[in-house]
Structure 1
Amino acid sequence: MRASRLLSVLLLLQTRGRMTAQQLADELEVSVRTVYRDVESLAAAGVPLYGDAGHDGGYRLVDGYRTRLTGLTREEAEALFLAGLPGPAADLGLGAVLATAQLKLTAALPDDLRDRTSVLRQRFHLDTSAWYAETDPVPHLGAVTDAVWRQRRIRIRYRRWKAPQEVTRTLEPYGLVLKAGRWYLVAGRPERVRTFRVSQILRIRVLEDRFDRPHGFDLAAHWRSYLEEFDARRHHGEAVVRLSPRVLQHLPDLMEPAVAHAARRSAGPPDPDGRVRVVVPIESVAHAAGMLLRLGAEAEVLEPAELRALMAETVAALAETYRHPPTSG
């Protein structure tokens, strides 16, 4: 612990220049007396630092004493800092590690690159969470992460959407994916590679037996393939819909990407009323009804007949509900 703190003192002085004992104490969350002892230890070890007395005084390193990274371009340094997402790192238990790594990198950069990365952090903030959705609680993410790192099989109690809702599975955890603020586990089972939402893991036990990852398994490539298969698997049919120009324009904000893209691709010329006929993929009649009802009167379902009838039935029920004044409770 003390060795890590001594390194932090050195890196802080390299990165920020002169700092008072109180500033160092506040940064490291220790007492000023502890800072005095740490500075004495660094000096005894041959680190060329000295202290200035007075109101503007403090500790500083002899000019030129620093470790530099060579061959790192401005763009590469900026990319490294943009890649460090504090939220996901904290989820994985790596928040402190990320902060220390960035401090080390900043301390080792030449002056001009260090100034650029400092400005970069004030200009760009990356937020991986989704809009209008709460972040999933993931109490077992730490255990899953440990099993992924150590290539240990796990046994989980898992809650899924179909019956039986709670199942027990023994898995080989290949990797973790963060998608729109939600963590997913990609894991091997005897029949195939499967995907599990980490927030739905009710219990977990990390087993002692190791496993070997499939030769050549590429997590990013597998995830891209999984998303393509997922869309193809869940969209069992199509619906023909007349949309107003306004809704068609704002469809990417109202529908998921697969539906919005299909509507844009299939859009024909406007009819005499200015409406556009599009074809969109649907999961089921019931799901499509809920999806299209949010568009209100600016969308009209033409096909299939079953979906059009369900829309009419739902709208009629809504009209009946709102035809009378609300009853007092």
Structure 2
Amino acid sequence: MLAGHRSPLTDLYTGEAEALFLAGIPGAAADLGLGGNFVDAQLKLRASLQAPLRDHVDRLRTRFHIDAPGWYAEDTDAPFLPQVAGAVRAGRVLAVRYRRWKEPTDVERRIAPYGLVLKAGRWYLVAGPGPRTYRVDQILELQLTEEEFEIPEDFSLTAYWTDHQASFHARLHGGDALVRLSPDGAKRLTGAAARALAANGSPEPDGWTRATLPIESLTHAHDTFLALGAHIEVLEPVELRARIADTVARMAAHYGAVPPASTPSPPRTPA
């Protein structure tokens, strides 16, 4: 482009203007310490639009609201997020004290912040060496150093995060469980379990569905399947079935439940 050339924003199509105003997430900008900049940028962009398109965008902003975190997401306090974002922009090494899940829990690291990712309302820092992924809300102390760094030329934040997610989900799949689900139980499944049900579910004469579902671990599956109450029956693995039966029996004892008069049917065997 020629020096001094400018492209006026008055030539934006309706869809283009809609995309620009809906793409930004005010909460994310505020988290990064850029809330004021975000508002100013939107005001300048709005002022540059022709009157009919400006009125259309104003109506649009009153009809769409982006709230990324899930309903039961915990509020995470990440007080060092603006400083981390500043280090990402400046290309400066950080000295941090970080809390992880395994022993020793509190560790000290010198890391090169490559980029930030916002996932389901939680901020993650991708940093070298490695690179590795850090939860920003688990940074306990932070110091910005004078040391600069260069991001490897072959590094892509988008590609890294895609691979990281795939690896994470692969680690979660620790085995499978053969189950029967009532119609209501089938409707309550989400994520990988719902996809597995759709792929291999087999209807049975009583209206229930038999399916093989992926599980992370026996403990996790025990807690997850109990949440479905009487709408699920675990057939395999036998250890998981026994764990759930034991928990249900102890719950019945707590509540003084009286067992049904009829003789319970024997456990079903896998087809």
- Contact 2:10–2:48, Cα closer than 8 Å, also in 1: no
Residue 134 of structure 2 corresponds to residue 200 of structure 1 = no
Aligned to 1:154: 94
Residue among 237, 245, 262 paired with 1:312? 245
Aligned to 2:113: 173
Aligned to 2:26: 86
Supply the distance in 1 between the matched residues of 2:238 and 2:110 (Cα, whole angstroms): 45
The answer for unaligned runs of 5 or more in structure 1 is 1-66, 325-329
Counterparts in 2 of 1:108-147, with a 5 A limit? Answer: 108-147=48-87
Residue 211 of structure 2 corresponds to residue 271 of structure 1 = no
SS of structure 2 residue aligned to 1:184? strand
Tell me which amino acid in the other structure corresponds to 2:98. Y
Aligned to 1:183: 123
Q: How far is 1:68 from its partner?
A: 5.2
Q: How far is 1:175 from its partner?
A: 0.8
Q: Deviations over 1:14-51 (max 9, x none)?
A: xxxxxxxxxxxxxxxxxxxxxxxxxxxxxxxxxxxxxx
- Contact 1:159–1:200, Cα closer than 8 Å, also in 2: yes
Residue among 193, 212, 218 paired with 1:259? 193
Supply the distance in 1 between the matched residues of 2:19 and 2:154 (Cα, whole angstroms): 27
Supply the distance in 1 between the matched residues of 2:189 and 2:87 (Cα, whole angstroms): 41
- Contact 2:93–2:147, Cα closer than 8 Å, also in 1: yes
Tell me how many residue pairs correspond in the alignment. Answer: 251
Identity within the alignment, %? 52
Aligned to 1:218: 156
Tell me which amino acid in the other structure corresponds to 1:177. V
Tell me which amino acid in the other structure corresponds to 2:194. A
Tell me which amino acid in the other structure corresponds to 1:94. L
Tell me which amino acid in the other structure corresponds to 2:146. E
Aligned to 1:321: 254
From the CA coordinates, give the structure whose radius of gyration is larger: 1
Q: Deviations over 1:57-111 (max 9, x none)?
A: xxxxxxxxxx952432111111110012111110001100011001111111111
Supply the distance in 1 between the matched residues of 2:8 and 2:150 (Cα, whole angstroms): 38
Supply the distance in 1 between the matched residues of 2:255 and 2:238 (Cα, whole angstroms): 26
SS of structure 2 residue aligned to 1:123? coil
Per mean C-alpha deviation after superposition, the further-off stretch among 148-157 and 127-136 is: 127-136
Q: How far is 1:183 from its partner?
A: 0.8
Aligned to 2:38: 98
- Contact 1:129–1:135, Cα closer than 8 Å, also in 2: no
Aligned to 1:292: 225
SS of structure 2 residue aligned to 1:143? helix
- Contact 1:240–1:301, Cα closer than 8 Å, also in 2: yes
Tell me which amino acid in the other structure corresponds to 1:262. A
Supply the distance in 1 between the matched residues of 2:198 and 2:223 (Cα, whole angstroms): 20
Supply the distance in 1 between the matched residues of 2:100 and 2:172 (Cα, whole angstroms): 16
TM-score, normalization by structure 1 = 0.73
TM-score, normalization by structure 2 = 0.88
Tell me which amino acid in the other structure corresponds to 2:238. A
Supply the distance in 1 between the matched residues of 2:47 and 2:17 (Cα, whole angstroms): 12
